[in-house]
């Protein structure tokens, strides 16, 4: 439906370039205009409520309308609305947050670097990998490895690490020196009769072969999300990270854990690295760090890495990297208050209590005619839609089945996200079991409506 003249939707079409949007379809149909939020729900400009089962973009962990975060921002705005961290200056609240994050780290970390987005944190890690190896007189050890279907961001460096074709196509990416190895999706890529452990062994061997083929003296780092998020909510198979980390250690390859989605309780531990026993050399984080209320991200680095960075900055005269808003005092104040709420309300304990109900809800749809796989951990999961359950045949991308289901869910007052034909859910960490049941009812209705449409249009075998 074409938006009415002078409406917010029509003004949006006229003035705003949207991220991650089919811009032609937007120009025809307009956006969904969201005006306010409360708890796990958001409301459009006609007052219609929607359960936001994606926490916005995986980030609004405490839901909407959290007054303590509003007040934390207002207090800091009045006290010190902006200052920077360049040239040996720092807001006091930035130091407070750095200390708090180091105390929460799953492995010993030395220093925190602040940025504004997960993409910037990943880019910083990538630049540090190169910087370190120049300092260590290993100028050839610069190649980095990520995984097919990984998502690490959309800046030039982070988008190169991202292993999704649409993030590369016609952007002239990836850049030189970025390699990709197997996606650890057991349902899609395991061989017949291959156990999870055997699948993990094969992927580790393939990683080792890639390193050997490239030359271990040229491979510097491996970037990995504990659970792959925007690539489809892919949970690693049993023993995967144990075997991968052994290969990395063998060839002196750094491990950078991308905790942008997994961090701060999403997997029912504070970090995905704890859930899957990662021991990273660097960690990135963002999103739930401030419950999405203000932009902020961070990179934590080990003492060994920090020591080399410090020494090299002395040689060069400065550490010539940073952003105007690195460690922004208002964002840091909101992040600190977010971490206090997690602790005071025992959000982690709450996630552990309700996540079994959430995972059971997803797995109840395994028998649905459209669902090939239900997967997840903690309060993140996905349903993968298939054309044929017995053969695991996917729908053709042009069929747009995932997008159709998202539209049906939205009509039922539920916001989920299609990652191809994998339907992702990542609700606010404050969700209750009753609200999970409400999601189940709306999601089930959307699945049924989409199945009927697929049958009527003939894109699903009868």
pLDDT digits (tens, 9 = 90+) for 358-375: 999 999 999 999 999 999
Residues carrying CATH 3.40.640.10, the chain: 68-344
Question: CATH 3.90.1150.10 residue ranges in the chain?
Answer: 32-65+346-457
Per-residue exposure over 438-447, b if at least 16 CB sit within 10 Å of its own CB, e if not? bbbebbebbb
In the block, tokens 């995967």 appear at 240
* Averaged pLDDT for residues 339-346: 98
CB count, 10 Å around CB of 155?
17
Indicate whether this model's pTM tops 0.85. yes
Give the residue from 373, 22, 365 showing the smallest Cα distance to 189.
Answer: 373
Task: Give the contacts of 415 (CB within 8 A, at least 6 positions apart).
Answer: 42, 50, 51, 52, 53, 54, 409
At 460 the pLDDT is 86
- The arithmetic mean of pLDDT across residues 21-38, rounded, is 95
Q: Quick one: average pLDDT of 271-279?
A: 98
Confidence (pLDDT) at 462: 65
Fold of 68-344: 3.40.640
The pLDDT, as a whole number, for residue 4 is: 82
Q: Check: CB of residue 126 under 8 Å from CB of residue 144.
A: yes
pLDDT category of residue 277 using cuts at 50, 70 and 90: very high
pLDDT over 70 for what percent of the chain? 100
Q: Which pair of tokens denotes residue 348?
A: 């982690």
Is 222:265 a contact under the CB 8 Å cutoff? no
Q: Say which CATH topology domain 32-65+346-457 has.
A: 3.90.1150
């Amino acid at each position: 439906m074409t938006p009415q003249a002078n409406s917010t939707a029509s003004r949006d079409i006229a003035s705003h370039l949207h991220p991650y949007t089919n811009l032609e379809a937007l120009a025809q149909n307009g956006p969904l205009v969201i005006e306010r939020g409360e708890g796990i729900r958001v409301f459009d400009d006609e007052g219609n409520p929607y359960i936001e089962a994606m926490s916005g973009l995986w980030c609004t962990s405490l839901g909407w309308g959290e007054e303590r975060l509003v007040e934390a921002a207002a207090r800091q705005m009045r006290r010190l609305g902006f200052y920077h961290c360049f040239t040996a200056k720092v807001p006091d609240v930035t130091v407070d947050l750095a200390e708090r994050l180091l105390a929460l780290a799953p492995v010993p970390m030395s220093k925190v670097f602040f940025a504004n987005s997960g993409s910037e944190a990943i880019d910083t890690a990538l630049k540090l990998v190169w910087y370190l190896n120049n300092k260590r007189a290993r100028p050839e050890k610069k190649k980095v490895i990520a995984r097919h279907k990984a998502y690490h961001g959309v800046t030039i460096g982070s988008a190169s690490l991202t292993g999704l074709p649409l993030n590369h196509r016609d952007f002239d990416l990836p850049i030189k020196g970025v390699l990709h190895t197997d996606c650890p999706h057991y349902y899609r890529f395991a061989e017949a009769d291959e156990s999870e452990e055997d699948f993990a062994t094969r992927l580790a061997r393939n990683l080792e072969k890639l390193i050997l083929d490239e030359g271990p003296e040229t491979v510097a780092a491996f970037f990995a999300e504990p659970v792959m998020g925007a690539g489809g909510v892919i949970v690693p198979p049993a023993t995967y990270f144990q075997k991968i980390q052994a290969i990395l250690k063998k060839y002196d390859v750094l491990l950078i854990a991308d905790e942008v989605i997994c961090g701060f309780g999403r997997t029912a531990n504070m970090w995905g690295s704890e859930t899957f026993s990662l021991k990273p050399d660097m960690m990135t984080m963002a999103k739930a760090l401030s419950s999405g209320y203000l932009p902020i991200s961070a990179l934590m680095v080990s003492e060994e890495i920090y020591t080399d960075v410090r020494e090299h900055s002395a040689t060069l005269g400065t550490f010539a990297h940073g952003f105007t808003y690195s460690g922004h005092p208002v964002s840091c104040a909101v992040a600190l208050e977010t971490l206090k709420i997690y602790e005071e309300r025992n959000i982690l304990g709450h996630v552990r209590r309700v996540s079994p109900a959430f995972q059971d809800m997803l797995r109840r749809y395994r028998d649905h005619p459209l669902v090939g796989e239900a997967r997840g951990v903690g309060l993140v999961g996905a349903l993968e839609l298939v054309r044929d359950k017995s053969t695991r045949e996917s729908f053709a991308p042009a069929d747009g089945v995932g997008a159709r289901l998202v539209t049906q869910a939205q009509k039922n007052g539920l916001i989920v996200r299609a990652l191809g034909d994998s339907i992702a859910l990542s609700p606010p960490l404050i969700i209750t079991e009753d609200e999970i049941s409400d999601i189940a009812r709306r999601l089930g209705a959307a699945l049924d409506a989409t199945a009927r449409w697929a049958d009527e249009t003939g894109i699903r075998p009868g």
